[in-house]
């Protein structure tokens, strides 16, 4: 089989490529390089000669994607390509609906016409919206009421997937599909090849590490008056390699005719203050911290219950210690203070 990975030049997609290539899979990836980087693809192609095909283009381009599917005999799709900033989705909702829902629909139309048997969708826990305290930790049956266009556009595609599976099963040509939902992904490949490079960077751990490197003046804590033990927000930080491990396990387990929905998480949260302290301990660097105002739309406590995938597939996060997560990122950040070095704004 050949696996098509969409968005393989991005943070999570590139880590997925590494894992699939290590397992000896034949892989082709499509990425429009809007937010991704060419460098991780080159590094992977150097490490695994002849095993990874890169196609620069858009998943909305049905002609291009059909050609890739036919040329490579794609049977499995792992779909990471997406726009992923909540704030940006509020400012540019139509762009998010186009990038996350319409483009994914175009991809699905091509899958329907080709020999795809399995579709693994990298969804998001933002599809749950802001569940009340009675729904935390979040389980897969927690009602999905997204509160921004990012979460709504990802949920819309989940629904398209389920409809597709239902119709294909009833027409005697069953396909399998899964949606994996998660919140905060962190850390980098512990082998040191791949890292995390967003532009702009807004995520907590990379922002702190950039402050530790002296690339930012300070780190701002978005609110210290939440109803949590130290007043800062609590989140569930999952190591990127554990996240990718779950995707691969689901890919291996998924049978035609099945639909699966799983939360991916450690199952416990850390506060912003705890993350800052872990970064201080790991980096051994001093950096300024300023308590600032709350950021709009941040719920106080978010963590998910991963027991469904643990019970059904035996998946559990291996890296559950926050220090270990930060260490893997710090190693890459120290060696690549400017990231992959191809972002115009930071070159
Ligand atoms: N956060 C913060 N300062 C920052 C970036 C993030 O205090 O510069 C907080 C944010 O309010 C949230 C947590 O850190 O409570 C994780 O934020 P991130 O943007 O990494 O992920 P999110 O939870 O929004 O998906």
Domain-wise residue ranges, the chain? 2-342
If you average pLDDT over residues 110-133, what whole number do you get? 94
Q: How far, in Å, CA of 124 to CA of 238, rounded?
A: 13
Q: What is the reported pLDDT for 343? A: 56
pLDDT at residue 346 greater than cutoff 90: no
Cα(154)–Cα(136) distance, integer angstroms: 21
pLDDT exceeds 50 at position 298: yes
Name the nearest CA neighbour of 231 among 274, 192, 194, 182.
Answer: 274
> Would you name the residues annotated as active-site residues?
150
- What's the rounded Cα separation, in Å, for the pair 347 and 337? 11
User: How far is ligand 1, taken at its centre, from the CA of residue 216, in Å?
Assistant: 16
Give me the residues paired with residue 129 across strands. 145
Give CA separation, 302 vs 99, 126, 269, 275, in Å.
26, 10, 7, 15
SS3 at position 77: strand
Summarize the confidence of residues 163-178 as an average pLDDT.
98
Domain 2-342 has CATH 3.30.450.40: no
pLDDT of residue 70: 97
pLDDT in tens, 210-269: 999 999 999 999 999 999 999 999 999 999 999 999 999 999 999 999 999 999 999 899
Q: Residue 28's pLDDT is what?
A: 98
Looking at residue 130, its pLDDT comes to 85
- Among the listed ranges 22-26, 44-48, 109-113, 294-298, which one has the minimum average pLDDT value? 294-298
Q: Do 7 and 79 contact (CB within 8 A), yes or no? A: yes
**pLDDT > 90 in the chain, percent:** 90
pLDDT band at 347 (very low <50, low <70, confident <90, very high): very low
CB distance 118 to 173 below 8 Å: no
Given pLDDT bands bounded at 50, 70 and 90, which one contains residue 177? Answer: very high
Average pLDDT score, the chain: 95
CA distance 119 to 74: 11
| Residue 245: predicted pLDDT | 98
- Which of 30-44, 132-146, 277-291 is the least confident region? 132-146
CA of 292 to the centre of ligand 1 (A): 12
Specify whether the CB–CB gap between 293 and 214 falls below 8 A: no
Q: How far apart are CA 172 and CA 128, in angstroms?
A: 32
Which residues 6+ apart lie within 8 Å of 5 measured at CB? 13, 16, 17, 20, 27, 28, 29, 78, 80
- Average pLDDT in the 264-284 region? 97
CA distances from 169 to 69, 79, 135, 140, 216 (A): 21, 21, 32, 23, 53
What is the arithmetic mean of pLDDT over 327-334? Answer: 97
Burial label, 162 (beta-carbon count in 10 A; 0-12, 13-18, 19+): middle
- pLDDT at 309 (0 to 100): 98
In the chain, DSSP finds a helix count (H) and a strand count (E) of 12, 14
For the Cβ of 207 lying below 6 angstroms from any atom of ligand 1, the answer is yes
Q: Read off the pLDDT band of 342 (50, 70, 90).
A: low
Distance CA 62, CA 109 (A): 8
**Number of alpha carbons in the 13 Å side-chain half-sphere of residue 323:** 6
Cα Rg of the chain (Å, integer): 20
Which pLDDT score is estimated for 345? 45
Decide if pLDDT at 344 tops 50. no
Q: Is 212 in the pocket of ligand 1 (CB under 6 A)?
A: no
Identify the weakest region by mean pLDDT among 19-28, 41-50, 118-127, 132-141. Answer: 132-141
pLDDT of amino acid 136: 83
Determine the distance separating the centroid of ligand 1 and the alpha carbon of 222, expressed in angstroms. 7
CB-ligand 1 contact for 221 (6 Å cutoff): yes
Q: Is the CB of 161 under 6 A from ligand 1?
A: no
Reported pTM = 0.96
d(CA 64, CA 4): 13
Pick from 103, 77, 106: nearest CA to 6:
77
């Amino acid at each position: 089989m050949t696996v098509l990975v969409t968005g393989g030049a991005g943070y999570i997609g590139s880590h997925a490529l590494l894992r699939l290539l290590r397992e000896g899979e034949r892989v082709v990836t499509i990425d429009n390089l809007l937010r991704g980087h060419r460098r991780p693809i080159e590094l992977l192609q150097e490490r695994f000669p002849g095993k990874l095909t890169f196609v620069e283009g858009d998943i909305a381009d049905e002609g291009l994607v059909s050609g890739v599917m036919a040329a490579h005999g794609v049977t499995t799709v792992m779909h990471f390509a997406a726009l992923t900033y909540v704030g940006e989705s509020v400012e540019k909702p139509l762009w998010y609906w186009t990038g996350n829902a319409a483009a994914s629909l175009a991809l699905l139309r091509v899958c329907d016409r080709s020999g795809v048997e399995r579709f693994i969708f990298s969804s998001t826990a933002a599809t749950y919206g802001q569940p009340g305290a009675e729904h935390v930790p979040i389980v897969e049956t927690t009602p999905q009421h997204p509160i921004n266009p990012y979460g709504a556009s990802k949920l819309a595609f989940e629904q398209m997937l389920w409809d597709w599976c239902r119709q294909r099963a009833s027409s005697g040509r069953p396909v399998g599909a899964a949606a994996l939902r998660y919140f905060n992904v962190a850390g980098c490949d512990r082998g040191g090849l791949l890292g995390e490079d967003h532009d702009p960077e807004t995520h907590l751990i990379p922002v702190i590490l950039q402050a530790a490197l002296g690339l930012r003046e300070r780190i701002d804590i978005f609110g210290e008056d939440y109803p949590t033990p130290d007043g800062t927000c609590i989140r569930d930080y999952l190591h990127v390699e554990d996240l990718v491990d779950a995707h691969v396990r689901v890919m291996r387990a998924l049978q035609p005719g099945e639909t699966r929905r799983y939360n991916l998480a450690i199952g416990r949260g850390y506060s912003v203050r705890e993350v800052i302290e872990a970064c201080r301990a790991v980096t051994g660097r001093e950096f300024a911290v300023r308590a600032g105002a709350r950021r709009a739309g941040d719920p106080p406590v978010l963590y998910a219950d991963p027991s469904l995938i643990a019970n059904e597939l035996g998946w559990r996060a291996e890296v559950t210690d926050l220090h270990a997560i930060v260490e893997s990122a710090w190693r890459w950040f120290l060696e690549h203070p400017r990231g992959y070095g191809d972002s115009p704004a930071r070159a």
